[in-house]
Amino acid sequence: MSSSTRVSLALLAGVVFGVSATLTHSVFAEKQPPVETLPLKDLQTFVEILNRVKSDYVEPVKDETLLENAVRGMLAGLDPHSSYLDKAEYKDLNASTTGKFGGLGIEVQLANGLVKVVTPIDDTPAAKAGVKAGDLIVKIDDTPVKGLTLQDAVTKMRGDPGTKIVLTLVRESMPQPLVLELKRDYIKVASVRGRSIEPGFGYVRISQFTATTGKNLSDELAKLKKEGELKGLVLDLRNNPGGLLTAAVDVSDEFLNKGGIVSIKGRDADSTRAFDASIGDALDGKPLVVLVNGGSASAAEIVAGALQDQKRGVLIGSKTFGKGSVQTILPLNNESAIKITTARYYTPSGRSIQAEGIIPDVMIQPLKISKLDPSEIGEGVSEADLKGRLDNPNAKPEDDKAKDAKPVEDAKKDEKKDAKPEPINIADLAVNDYELYEALNLLKGMSIAQGR
């Protein structure tokens, strides 16, 4: 089968600096596109415009540039996700699915002539510098973004690893523009990370969907199970811009025992396909809470939609991005490609989330939590403090308590012997990540209810 027949179904939320963050699925099409009669009059008008630009434009322009711009305009005029990819852009697109690429590690899209941040990728220069979802990039070094195409802006933000770049951002919560200096780097995304939040309760963060995400998720779950009985899991899909469709299916399949995951429907039978879960649930039916927000897009929404429709997990957070269309990546003979919308995807219940997003089962509005000074909290009075109160008949005498106490040195030896990762301070968690704090509380409640 020739490479010219290869196509990829891609669901995209935007463009990443140095790479496109895509949701792709490779399939093969045997038939060639049908040849249709083109309107001669319209073609003559196109050629006339081309010749007028060549002869009358203030500066000479190469034919290749004019034709490429014409193709870009034709595709961009269809919808926000159809576009032309030149050789470098197509190479970046393919690199993104491996989880390793060069750039700043930030997902962007064009909004009202400015570059809007969809989400920074975890542990990248952008995330470390403090770039946040929703930020508007108004200047790149000394160049204003207004008037630039998205690709021009992305090209200016690319560069050799180690070189510096200054971004000027406008953030809704700040009265003045924010100026950040970043250092470009090779971006190697660890798409899956896990840890225990409390004994028995795990946390897995998926930052995007790459070729290895399914396997990496299985490995992280295996590690959590080795630490002890896993009573429940928080799956964090916040600010996840998407990735491989096959990875989204694999992740959903980890938690589903049967039923549909996602279906794709286009104009003809070749653009229609359904994906179903295989037997086996990695959590054996234990409670699952899924964190989502406005930065959860495409592949992340496929997973969230499948788990919600199958009633396998409880979604918590805010409404998702709403990217429910499918793009096909068609390679061309000159090593470039076109990306064109060919279908929509549907959750197991048959709903399309295009331009609507997924509404979580439990909505959480953005909040800022702060700790109270201990001096502000008065000491309460309990039954034990009341004069003449009854003693507890089951309470141990003070002497017995002393017998049970281990010498300090012995206690330290036991600590070293059974050393485990430091538990997360729940008070700090509430301050630093209130959504995760609420997700953990919900997960613990579900676990208690299931145990009863």
Query: Using one digit for the tens of pLDDT, what is the confidence trace for 246-261?
Result: 899 999 999 999 999 9
Least confident of 202-216, 301-315, 423-437: 423-437
Whether the predicted pLDDT of 96 surpasses 90: no
**Mean pLDDT value across residues 359-379:** 81
More confident residue, 156 or 58: 58
CATH code of domain 189-327+342-379+406-452: 3.90.226.10
- Is the separation of the CB atoms in 241 and 24 below 8 Å? no
Ranges of each domain in the chain: 102-188, 189-327+342-379+406-452
Q: How many other CB atoms are found less than 10 A from the CB of residue 60?
A: 7
User: What residues form DSSP beta bridges with 288?
Assistant: 233
Least confident of 45-49, 92-96, 137-141, 176-180: 92-96
Task: Please state the pTM of the whole predicted model.
Answer: 0.76
Residues 252, 262: Cα–Cα separation, whole Å: 10
- Residue 97 has what pLDDT? 62
Torsion on CA atoms 103, 109, 114, 117, rounded to nearest 10: -60
Query: Using one digit for the tens of pLDDT, what is the confidence trace for 320-355?
Result: 999 999 888 899 999 999 999 988 999 999 999 999
- Is the separation of the CB atoms in 434 and 367 below 8 Å? yes
Comparing 102-188 with 189-327+342-379+406-452, is the CATH topology the same?
no
- Residue 236 has what pLDDT? 97
Q: Domain 102-188 in CATH: superfamily?
A: PDZ domain (2.30.42.10)
More confident residue, 389 or 13: 389
Whether the predicted pLDDT of 94 surpasses 80: no
The set of catalytic residues is: 298, 309, 323
Query: What are the backbone dihedrals phi and psi of residue 172, each rounded to the nearest 5 degrees, phi first?
Result: -55, -35
